[in-house]
C-alpha cells in the first residue's frame, strides 16, 4: 500500500505465538499507564492551581496591610504565603518527584515488558478491537 497504512497495520499486529492472555495483560498494563498519565495531568493542575492561590494570597496580604490589619497580614504571610505544600516541597517539586520517580519507572517497565513479550508493539488489544468493530 502506497499510503503507508500497511506499515501502520503491522505496527499493531500480534506477533506469532502471542496468546490472548498476553495481549489482555499488556492491554491492562497499558491502560494502567494511561491512568498514570491522567494522574500526572492532575498533578500539573494541582501545581498551577496552588501557584494561582499563592499569588492571590500575596494580593490578600497587601490588601490586609492597606486596610490596616498588619497582624493578620503577618499571620497569613508567615503561615500560608509561599509555604511548602508537603514537608520541604513546593508543588513543582511534587510534580518532579512523581515524574522522575514513579511515572518514569512505570513507563520504562511497561516498555520493557512490551519489548520482551511482543517486540515492543503497543496497543495490540485496541488494534484488534478496532479491526473487529470496523464496518468498512
Summarize pLDDT for 50-95 with one digit per residue, the tens: 999 999 999 999 999 999 999 999 999 999 999 999 999 999 999 9
Please check the confidence at residue 128 and state whether its pLDDT lies above 70.
yes
Average pLDDT taken over every residue of the chain: 92
For residues 35, 38, 44, 47, the Cα torsion angle rounded to the nearest 10 degrees is -70
Range 17-31 average pLDDT: 94
C-alpha cell of residue 69 = 490589619
| Residue 45 reports pLDDT greater than 70 | yes
Q: How far is 60 from 57, CA to CA, in rounded Å?
A: 5
122, 77 in Cβ contact below 8 A?
no
Residue 135: pLDDT over 90: no
Domain residue ranges of the chain, discontinuous segments joined by +: 26-52+84-133
For the four alpha carbons of 37, 94, 48 and 79, in that order, the dihedral sign comes to: positive
Q: What is the pLDDT of residue 93?
A: 97
The model's pTM is 0.79
What are the start-end ranges of the H helices in the chain?
5-11, 20-66, 70-79, 91-98, 104-118, 124-133
Amino acid at each position: 500500500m502506497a499510503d503507508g497504512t500497511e506499515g501502520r497495520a503491522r505496527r499493531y499486529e500480534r506477533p506469532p505465538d502471542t496468546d490472548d492472555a498476553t495481549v489482555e495483560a499488556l492491554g491492562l498494563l497499558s491502560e494502567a499507564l494511561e491512568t498514570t498519565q491522567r494522574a500526572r495531568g492532575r498533578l500539573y493542575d494541582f501545581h498551577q492551581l496552588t501557584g494561582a492561590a499563592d499569588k492571590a494570597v500575596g494580593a490578600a496580604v497587601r490588601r490586609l496591610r492597606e486596610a490596616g490589619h498588619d497582624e493578620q497580614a503577618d499571620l497569613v504571610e508567615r503561615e500560608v504565603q509561599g509555604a511548602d505544600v508537603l514537608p520541604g516541597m513546593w508543588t513543582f517539586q511534587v510534580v518532579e518527584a512523581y515524574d522522575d520517580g514513579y511515572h518514569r519507572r512505570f513507563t520504562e517497565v511497561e516498555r520493557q515488558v512490551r519489548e520482551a513479550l511482543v517486540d515492543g508493539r503497543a496497543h495490540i488489544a485496541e488494534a484488534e478491537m478496532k479491526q473487529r468493530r470496523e464496518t468498512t
